[in-house]
A and B are shown apart, each in its own frame.
Chain A
């Protein structure tokens, strides 16, 4: 098997994102992940919609298609169904994916098409120069909400769960290690793998994820979940999550008689999404933000099902050619 390096996935195109934009880190992570996944760049298709992040296909050396606003999920679905041999990435942002493309997003997840979706969430429309998006925090002032937006935002993970998603992961743009890990895991997952990348927009929404991204405090403010491991976090890795009634609670090992045995073990494979939802919805300052693979459940993919059905029927039928098909019509000589 050929081994690849991140370089093999770099294109010769000049990268046009703003200096300091979180997207630079994400594409670097993606190139690393692609090398790790080990699929030939020419067996890989990267499909995007419209927006800053959707420029990404130009910056990787694979087959790419920069399409129209919101429709990346539908076009990527077509690519994967037409040729399941390809590894298909869909690149999208919070506006492209959750506003204009919301319908395609939930339906591709519902169908469980084998796509790897990188959702760049910077909580703002960047390319159109700073309007609020479906994930912008309520009250945030933007050019189209000068007095603060009155809209309630989406949590992408909740939409994934609501669409019966089989895979959801999260990573921070500057956290290259977790980013590469979740991208690799997403690509290995059979089904729609939604990876929410928390990305900073240095121009229109600088510090959107600032509380979390804070260099010195990050370890206390995020928990990187790993399947089968206790939900521990913190600078000293001594904080953890336990169930308190129906809710999660942050505890510290050694305090109030808590030992490591009391800490919840992360089960990403659980079909029951109750805990996954609670993890997705955790927010500061009382909780850390959940990162890593939060949910990863095995289910048949749409593309497999489509091709299985065709194979089955083709194996059974005696009609093999078009002329034979014509012969099945009620016909007569004239």
Chain B
């Protein structure tokens, strides 16, 4: 290693990879994240990819990005601004030019920075950096990634396309060098990934190692970042997991714990499809997946499976949830357990499929005909999608109700460290099955009079044959009924059942300053950004606290009490104020301030700090 190289120790570093959607940036980013996590860093990642599978090469529409935040202390978000930006072409530069730190570094593939490439990306001059007003304080490091990759593979009998595709490995090697990551770990990952393709593996390793060695030859003024092992992490066995996979595995865990076969009826939709992919692979766990003919059939096959006694789930995103509305109402009416996972994206209509938003909350709460209460909950990090998918299943099965679990593109595709659980340590799941002594005595509507939860008889059980359905039923006899007083009684029972669930869920906890002047409220995937902003303000001795919600309907039972104990309350969400609207209907006499953004992107910690400072001032 060259003696001129400087080591700079950093607590947190954000690195962004960006290139054409065919450049393999997602793989490069994922491998680099995993290598860092194995070395003991905390990580949070966020892929930002286009809807187009392969837009014309070099154009703005085809830019795919991957950001990872490494830390030697707790990492809550993938980071606002990048310290290091690896960029494969001018289009990628243009799309991601904002959000680079003042003293950041841009490493770019100089081979792809030609007149032709500038033109494709819509630059009018031959100096894209100047055209984008990139600050002089940012260090520009040109590296001929394409030509060096070609050279590296000159001994191999590959076509040009394959060679060009390998340049992401050159970039990975280079970045491993710059962050002082041992190359052996990267090789180990590649060996796993390309187990069955010996020649591709050999070529990738060659390029990776050449990229690493190239690092030693580049501009000596470049620093090597040293991000040390994190000590804030609980000891245990960890992996790096994205939210969609964690959701799928949470459902599997609930299936194993409850002893029920898991059934997923689903229709492909961005950004939720990975849940279908993940579960389709798990035949070893006995999971049944049906790729249905449409969103409606996705949920309806699941409702059929639930009727037949399975743990039934359906996965979708906003437009799909809209199509499923009527069927969710059927599950409410028939009082059948069902988990509906909605990975939210930009709306309305088709909106922005690959971008993230929290705009389906009111749809989840109210988007059905009739008085149709269902449980609504939200995961807040990639890894806790596991926990909340598990809890959604538990609540659905034990309370005989549909549960809508909200995640979004940000945590669905983003990843974080996950401490591997043990099935034995997860809470028991006990559905309210009919018991032998109830034989011939219970009707479809017979319920526990305290909890209002009806008993579950499953087709095939002798002595319990019944007719369920979407028509109103008589409270006692279970037969169809349009009696006025009976309908009111049934409406009340279905509502009471959901209201009672507040007793089963944890109370709301406040993070941050106990005697805060301002209480920030958030829900779902914004937790990382909100708590980062609040922790940062705490260091500046600001009196501010966070109440973050994972359970929305019903709300934790101490919600009103907590909120009323603060002078100023501001609800922050990635929509125009949906949770604030809901809270106004649930907690009377409080003025809820709002901070909202609907740009298809997560909050930044920076903007939140600015916002909170204003609320603290006034």
By a beta-carbon cutoff of 8 Å, the part of chain A in contact with chain B is 11, 13, 40-45, 47, 57-58, 61-68, 71, 74-83, 85-86, 103-104, 107, 306, 309-310, 313-314, 317, 319-323, 325-326, 329-334
Q: A81-B263, A325-B285 are in contact. Are A45 and B459 (CB under 8 A)?
A: yes
Contact A334 B233 (CB under 8 A): yes
**9 pairs across A/B with beta carbons < 8 Å?**
A64-B467, A78-B306, A83-B459, A86-B460, A309-B283, A313-B283, A319-B284, A320-B284, A332-B239
Pairs of residues from A and B, 5 with the lowest C-beta to C-beta distance, nearest first: A78-B304, A66-B469, A74-B300, A78-B301, A82-B305
- List which B198-212 residues lie within 8 A (CB) of chain A: none
Given A63-B459, A322-B252, A333-B236, A310 contacting B288 (CB threshold 8 A): yes
The contact of A332 among B38, B282, B302, B309, by CB within 8 Å, is: B38
Task: Please provide the chain B residues from 430 to 489 with a CB less than 8 Å away from any CB of chain A in the complex.
Answer: 459-471, 479-480
Question: A77: which of B283, B304, B469 is its contact (CB, 8 Å)?
Answer: B304
Contact A334 B300 (CB under 8 A): no
Q: Which residues of A contact B253 (CB under 8 A)?
A: 322
Please name 6 further chain A to chain B contacts, defined as beta carbons within 8 Å, in addition to the given A57-B467, A65-B334, A78-B305, sorted by A numbering: A40-B462, A81-B288, A83-B310, A107-B297, A333-B236, A333-B238
- The answer to whether B284 touches A42 (Cβ under 8 A) is no
Whether B235 is near chain A, meaning CB under 8 Å from some CB there, is yes
- Chain B residue with Cβ nearest A85: B460
User: Which of B237, B263, B469 is close to A82, meaning CB atoms less than 8 Å apart?
Assistant: B263
Partner of A47, one of B304, B420, B422, B465: B304
Closest residue of chain A to B192, judged by CB? A330
Give the complex CA separation of A42 and B465 in angstroms: 6
The answer on a CB contact under 8 Å between B238 and A42 is: no
User: How far does the Cβ of A177 sit from chain B's closest Cβ, in whole Å?
Assistant: 28
B330 and A81: CB pair below 8 A?
A: no
Whether a CB of chain A sits under 8 angstroms from the CB of B34 is: yes
Docked-complex contact A82 and B288, CB < 8 angstroms: yes
Interface assignment of B261: CB less than 8 Å from any CB of chain A: yes
Nearest-neighbour CB distance to chain B for A40, whole angstroms, equals: 8
CB–CB B308/A45 < 8 A: yes
Q: Pick the contact of B304 from A41, A44, A75, A331 — CB < 8 Å?
A: A75
Q: A86-B460, A310-B288 are in contact. Are A74 and B466 (CB under 8 A)?
A: no
A78-B465 contact given A67-B470, A68-B327, A326-B420, CB 8 Å threshold? no
On chain B, the residues within 8 Å of A45 by CB distance are 307-308, 459
Contacting residues, chain A, for B238 (C-beta < 8 A): 331-334
In the complex, the answer to whether A323 meets B304 with C-beta atoms within 8 Å is no
B326: chain A residues at CB < 8 Å are: 68
Number of residues of chain B lying within 8 A (CB) of chain A: 72
Instruction: Compute how far the CA of A85 lies from the CA of B261 in the bound complex, rounded to whole angstroms.
Output: 14
A79 smallest CB distance to B (angstroms): 4
Bound complex: CA of A309 vs CA of B287, how far in Å? 11
B312: interface (CB < 8 Å): yes
Interface string of B275-291 (1 = CB under 8 A from A): 00000001111111010
- Contact partner, A104, options B283, B300, B469, Cβ 8 Å: B300
Cα(A11)–Cα(B444), bound, Å? 14
CA distance A42 to B252 in the complex (A): 29
Tell me the minimal C-beta distance from A75 to chain B in angstroms: 4
Closest to A303 in B: B288
Contacts of B249 in A (CB 8 A): 325
B297 to A63, Cβ gap below 8 A?
A: no
In contact, B252 and A65 (Cβ under 8 angstroms): no
**Within the assembled complex, what's the spacing in Å between the Cα atoms of A241 and B326?**
48
Tell me the complex Cα distance, A307–B210, Å.
49
* A331 to B, closest residue via Cβ: B239
Instruction: Tell me the complex Cα distance, A326–B40, Å.
Output: 20
Q: Does B303 contact A (CB under 8 A)?
A: yes
Question: Which B residues touch A325, using CB under 8 A?
Answer: 249, 252, 282, 284-285
The answer, among B283, B296, B297, B468, for a CB contact under 8 Å with A65, is: B468
Whether the Cβ atoms of B470 and A78 lie closer than 8 Å is no
- Complex Cα distance, B287 from A75, in Å, reads 18
Minimum CB–CB distance from A305 to chain B (whole Å) comes to: 11
- Which of B256, B293, B296, B304 counts the most chain A CB atoms within 10 A? B304
B421 contacts A by Cβ under 8 Å: yes
Are A74 and B460 also in contact (CB < 8 A) when A323-B423, A325-B285, A331-B420 are? no
Judge if B119 is at the interface, Cβ distance under 8 Å: no
Point out the residues of chain B lying under 8 angstroms from A332, CB to CB: 37-38, 237-239
Q: How far is the CA of A134 from the CA of B422 in the complex (A)?
A: 55
- B467 and A11 form a contact (CB under 8 A): yes
Residue picked from A75, A78, A323, A332, most chain B C-beta under 10 Å: A78
- Say yes or no for B294: interface residue by CB 8 A criterion: yes
Residue numbers in A under 8 Å from B462 (CB-CB): 40, 42
Q: Is the CB of B465 within 8 A of A79?
A: no
Cβ of B265 within 8 Å of any chain A Cβ, yes or no, is yes
**Which residues of the other chain, A, contact B34 by a CB distance below 8 angstroms?**
330
B465 touches A77 (CB 8 A): no
- Measured between beta carbons, the chain A residues less than 8 angstroms from B38 are 332
Assess whether B95 is interfacial by the CB under 8 Å rule. no
A79 lies within 8 A of B308 (CB): yes
Closest to A325 in B: B285
Whether a CB of chain A sits under 8 angstroms from the CB of B148 is no
Is residue B560 within 8 Å, beta carbon to beta carbon, of the partner chain?
no
The docked-state distance in angstroms from the alpha carbon of A107 to that of B164 is 43
- What distance in Å separates the Cβ of A10 from its nearest Cβ neighbour in chain B? 12
B323 nearest CB across to chain A (Å): 11
**Do A322 and B304 contact each other (CB < 8 Å), given the known contacts A41-B465, A313-B284?**
no
Give the one of B238, B256, B290, B469 with max A CB within 10 A: B469
Determine the chain B residues whose CB is within 8 A of the CB of A319 once the complex forms: 284-285
Give CA–CA (A160, B296) in the complex, Å.
21
Q: Is B190 an interface residue (CB 8 A)?
A: no
Known A-B contacts A57-B467, A65-B334; the reply to A78 vs B309 at CB < 8 A is no
Q: A63-B466, A68-B326, A331-B239 are in contact. Are A42 and B461 (CB under 8 A)?
A: yes
A333 near B237 with CB under 8 A, answer: yes
Interchain nearest-CB distance for A121 vs B (Å) = 22
Q: Which of A44, A66, A71 contacts B327 (CB 8 A)?
A: A71
Cβ contacts under 8 Å, B304 to chain A: 47, 65, 74-82
Asked if B284 and A78 make an inter-chain contact with CB atoms under 8 angstroms apart, the answer reads no
Known pairs A75-B307, A82-B261; A64 contacts B466 (CB<8 A): yes
Q: How far is the CB of A138 from chain B (nearest CB, A)?
A: 28
Option from A81, A313, A320 in Cβ contact (under 8 Å) with B290: A81
Distance of A322 Cα from B292 Cα, bound (Å)? 26
Contact check, A104 vs B288: say whether CB atoms are below 8 A apart.
no
Chain B residue contacts of A317, Cβ below 8 A: 284
Whether A78 contacts B236 by the Cβ 8 Å rule is no
**How near does chain B come to A278, taking the closest CB pair, in angstroms?**
29
Given the known inter-chain contacts A78-B304, A82-B308, please indicate yes or no for A322 contacting B423, CB distance below 8 A.
Answer: yes
